[in-house]
């Protein structure tokens, strides 16, 4: 009897730690998306910001490379930096992404952007829920999706030179599949991580930021792929 009580207590503690960690992951992710959305709308409605961002291709592509630099820096240095620093880098990345994403308002209709965002949220939520509740090991699928991601990156770089609409459509179509799959895989990975996270520890705080960044990237890329496929252009 005492053993059962102890086992039940341990199980409740594990569930509490898991819930606390995942709440932080999704909380930071949602904050990142909120910052990105607000920044994108603000930039698109500000002549000063638009003139700065799109003053030259060098400025615009410089901002994009700065985005990539922040992701690489955070991923490579997360173990050595403080949790507060990791948080600031993540938030800076979300704001910078909002600045560059403001360009979609010049290409797509506002109602189409809103509809696609809602569709992305529903797809993301469904696949994230699947990744959380499924008993199936998604590691194999995750590896396959990562291969697909590398293929998308290579094809996208090649299409900078080819400027092929057909190739762009294929990349976007495959991208939707890849990022929906990665959403489920990354969610399951976050769930597994939560079992070993000590509540309130520095490691847990940094783990939550990296988890938020991972899911944030899944959502943003899924949104962009869907927008390229189904968005109504101006």
Q: CA–CA separation, 234 vs 222, rounded Å?
A: 21
The reported pLDDT for the residue numbered 201 is 75
Of all residues in the chain, the percent with pLDDT exceeding 90 is 60
168, pLDDT greater than 80: yes
Closest residue by Cα to residue 231 from 91, 63, 116: 116
**Are the C-beta atoms of residues 102 and 44 closer than 8 Å to each other?**
yes
Find the mean pLDDT for residues 135-155.
92
Angle between helices 83-101 and 57-77 (to 10 degrees): 150
**What is the pTM assigned to this prediction?**
0.90
Quick one: average pLDDT of 168-184? 95
65: alpha, beta or left? (left if phi > 0; alpha if psi -120 to 50): alpha
Mean pLDDT within 78-90: 91
Count of domains for the chain: 1
Which residue segment(s) compose the domain that 150 sits in?
A: 2-230
Q: Is the pLDDT of residue 230 over 80?
A: yes
Task: Quote the pLDDT of residue 149.
Answer: 92
pLDDT at 204 (0 to 100)? 82
Residue 52's contacts (CB-CB under 8 Å, 6 or more residues apart) are 59
Does 1 have pLDDT greater than 80?
no
Exposed, middle or buried by CB within 10 Å (0-12, 13-18, 19+), for 31? middle
Over range 181-194, report the average pLDDT. 91
| Residue 67 neighbours by CB under 8 Å, 6+ apart | 93, 96, 97, 100
In the predicted structure, residue 9 carries a pLDDT above the cut 70:
no
Q: What is the mean pLDDT of residues 96-118?
A: 93
Give me the pLDDT at residue 131, please: 94
pLDDT of residue 12: 67
Between 193 and 211, the higher pLDDT residue: 211
Q: What's the rounded Cα separation, in Å, for the pair 98 and 102?
A: 6
Mean of pLDDT values over 148-170: 88
Q: Mean pLDDT, to the nearest integer, of 176-193?
A: 93
Percent of the chain with pLDDT over 70: 92
Task: Give the model confidence (pLDDT) of 19-45 as tens digits.
Answer: 888 899 999 999 999 999 999 999 999
67, pLDDT greater than 80: yes
User: 3-state class of 140 per DSSP?
Assistant: helix
């Amino acid at each position: 009897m005492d053993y059962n009580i102890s086992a039940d207590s341990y199980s409740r503690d594990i569930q509490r730690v898991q819930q606390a960690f995942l709440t932080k992951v999704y909380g930071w992710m949602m904050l990142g998306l909120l910052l990105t959305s607000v920044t994108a709308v603000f930039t698109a409605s500000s002549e000063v910001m638009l003139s700065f961002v799109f003053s030259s291709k060098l400025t615009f592509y410089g901002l994009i490379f700065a985005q990539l630099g922040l992701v690489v820096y955070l991923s490579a240095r997360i173990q050595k930096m403080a949790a507060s620093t990791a948080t600031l880098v993540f938030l800076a990345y979300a704001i910078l992404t909002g600045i560059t994403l403001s360009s979609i308002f010049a290409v797509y209709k506002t109602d189409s952007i809103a509809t696609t965002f809602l569709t992305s949220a529903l797809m993301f939520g469904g696949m994230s829920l699947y990744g959380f509740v499924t008993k199936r090991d998604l590691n194999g699928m995750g590896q396959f999706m990562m291969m697909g991601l590398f293929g998308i990156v290579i094809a996208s770089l090649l299409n900078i030179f080819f400027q092929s609409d057909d190739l762009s459509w294929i990349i976007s179509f495959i991208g939707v599949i890849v990022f929906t799959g990665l959403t489920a895989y990354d969610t399951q990975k976050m769930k597994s991580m939560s079992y070993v996270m000590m509540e309130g520890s520095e490691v847990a705080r940094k783990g939550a930021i990296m988890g938020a960044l991972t899911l944030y990237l899944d959502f943003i890329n899924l949104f962009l792929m869907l927008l390229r496929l189904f968005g109504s252009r101006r």
